[in-house]
């Protein structure tokens, strides 16, 4: 009894004071991002670490990463309905919310990457339908609108299950192919380019879809665990089991695809492909990406998800989900940057980089890239925006309240039930 009464004031401070500190921190980070963008507008993209050899950098690989993250939620919400996985239904609305937030942030990530951001309207005035970029903008828009509508439908479905059942079902069946299309089209931005042998593989679209499922599920897992920690919900063992299963299977498929690509390049030994792969294999200058991808984001999470003794540790699922996301981010860096680092036409002195410094050559044969503080600032600001969108959405929509489909104690805090009874 004493513990219950003590718990109530603690609860109250927990849910009010820290949330304002959290919002304040996010606002500071977003302001930092905005300041960085203003700086970039003043000096042009010279403020970034990109130059003529590596001409896409942090914005693009973070864009691809956020597009991937947006998958998990929608695919999970749709799978719960399409394949009748009851244990995942309580996560449906949280999943769709994260999908909408991720895709919005991904779209915003493109704006600071443009050299002429105020001409962005040209995309709608003079669209070139042979460009994968136009199709990607189209599918991103469709996906964002769909997520918002789906969120509304699920919200109504939670309130009046019998009336909105059919609509929710239809949305689930439409959502699954839409999500797969989004990732495929984003993959084709890279995969269709004959100039970059590192990108030019038909494996690109399947690889994007599976790594999207992987990182997206891991993100929803992390968000659900955060909701459990700070909100009034609890994940059932059944839900955890399904999340773990989704992550394990998609991680295996992801590593299998990447490995299959490595084998093809290694066995074929075509110089242009090999010189790109050598950069990332152990011993190459970008080998740290290999280790993050295969060990930090591969072997360690698998151990925490599969080894019985590690699996039972508290926080094992959360840690594994976090490491998986780190691994997928490393993969995005590897994909985008290495395509540029190793250009197809590679004779000395190489490409002019567009700047002149007294100490260094104006040419680069092998590309170099380090993000600057401006790029980091903008990306961190947008990540803060994502966190803010999720927090506001979570609190405003009560996306984790008990849903009728959940037969478990999914969404009810035990302490509260005890207090009321």
Chain residues that interact with another protein, rule: CB under 8 A:
43-48, 50-53, 55-56, 110, 113-117, 119-120, 122-123, 125-128, 130-134, 137, 189, 193-196, 270-272, 275, 339-340, 343-356, 362-363, 365-366
What is the distance, to the nearest Å, from the Cα of residue 355 to the centroid of all Cα atoms in its chain? Answer: 33
CB nearer to another protein: give 78 or 364.
364
The span from the CA of 185 to the CA of 180, in Å, is 9
CB nearer to another protein: give 39 or 238.
39
For residue 352, the minimal CB distance to another protein (Å) is 4
For residue 359, the minimal CB distance to another protein (Å) is 13
For residue 183, the minimal CB distance to another protein (Å) is 18
The span from the CA of 304 to the CA of 308, in Å, is 8
DSSP designation for 296: I
The span from the CA of 305 to the CA of 300, in Å, is 9
Helices (H) and strands (E) in the chain, counts: 15, 2
Closest by alpha carbon to 232, among 9, 395, 40? 395
CB nearer to another protein: give 98 or 342.
342
For residue 123, the minimal CB distance to another protein (Å) is 6
CB nearer to another protein: give 136 or 150.
136
For residue 336, the minimal CB distance to another protein (Å) is 9
For residue 247, the minimal CB distance to another protein (Å) is 31
CB nearer to another protein: give 9 or 283.
283
CB nearer to another protein: give 45 or 225.
45
Secondary structure (DSSP) of 19-31: HHHHHHHHHHHHH
The span from the CA of 309 to the CA of 317, in Å, is 13
β strands within 203-356, DSSP E: 351-352
The span from the CA of 268 to the CA of 260, in Å, is 12
CB nearer to another protein: give 199 or 394.
199
Other C-beta atoms closer than 10 Å to the C-beta of 414 total 9
Tell me the Cα Rg of the chain.
23
For residue 353, the minimal CB distance to another protein (Å) is 7
SS3 content of the chain, % helix, strand, coil (to 5): 75, 0, 25
């Amino acid at each position: 009894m004493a513990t219950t009464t003590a718990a109530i004031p603690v609860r109250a401070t927990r849910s009010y004071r820290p949330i304002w500190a959290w919002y304040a921190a996010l606002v500071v980070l977003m302001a930092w991002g905005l300041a960085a963008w203003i700086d970039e507008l003043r000096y042009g993209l010279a403020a970034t670490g990109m130059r003529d050899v590596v001409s896409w950098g942090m914005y693009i690989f973070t864009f691809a990463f956020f597009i991937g993250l947006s998958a998990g939620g929608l695919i999970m919400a749709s799978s719960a309905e399409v394949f009748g996985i009851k244990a995942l239904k309580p996560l449906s609305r949280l999943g769709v919310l994260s999908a909408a937030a991720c895709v919005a942030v991904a779209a915003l990530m493109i704006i600071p990457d443009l050299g002429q951001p105020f001409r962005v309207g040209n995309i709608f005035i003079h669209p070139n339908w042979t460009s994968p970029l136009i199709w990607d903008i189209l599918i991103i828009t469709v996906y964002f609108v769909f997520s918002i509508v789906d969120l509304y439908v699920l919200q109504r479905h939670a309130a009046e299950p019998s009336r909105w059942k059919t609509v929710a079902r239809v949305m689930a069946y439409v959502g699954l192919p839409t999500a797969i299309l989004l990732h495929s089209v984003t993959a084709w931005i890279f995969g269709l380019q004959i100039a970059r042998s590192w990108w030019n593989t038909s494996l690109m679209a399947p690889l994007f879809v599976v790594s999207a499922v992987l990182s997206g599920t891991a993100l929803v897992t992390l968000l659900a665990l955060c909701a459990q920690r700070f909100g009034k919900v609890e994940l059932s063992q059944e839900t955890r089991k399904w999340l773990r299963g989704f992550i394990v299977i998609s991680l295996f498929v992801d590593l299998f695809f990447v490995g299959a690509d490595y084998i093809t390049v290694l066995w074929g030994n075509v110089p242009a492909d090999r010189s790109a792969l050598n950069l990332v294999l152990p011993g190459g200058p970008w080998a740290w990406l290999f280790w993050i991808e295969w060990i930090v984001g591969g072997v360690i999470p698998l151990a925490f998800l599969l080894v019985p003794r590690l699996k039972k540790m508290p926080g094992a699922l959360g840690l594994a989900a976090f490491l998986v996301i780190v691994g997928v981010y490393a993969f995005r860096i590897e994909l985008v940057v290495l395509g540029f680092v190793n250009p197809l036409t590679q004779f000395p002195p190489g490409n002019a980089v567009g700047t002149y410094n007294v100490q260094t050559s104006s040419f680069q044969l092998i590309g170099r890239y380090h993000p600057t503080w401006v790029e980091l600032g903008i990306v961190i600001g947008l990540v803060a925006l994502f966190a803010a969108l999720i927090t506001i959405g979570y609190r405003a929509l009560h996306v984790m309240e008990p849903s009728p489909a959940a037969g478990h104690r999914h969404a009810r805090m035990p302490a509260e039930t005890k207090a009321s009874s």
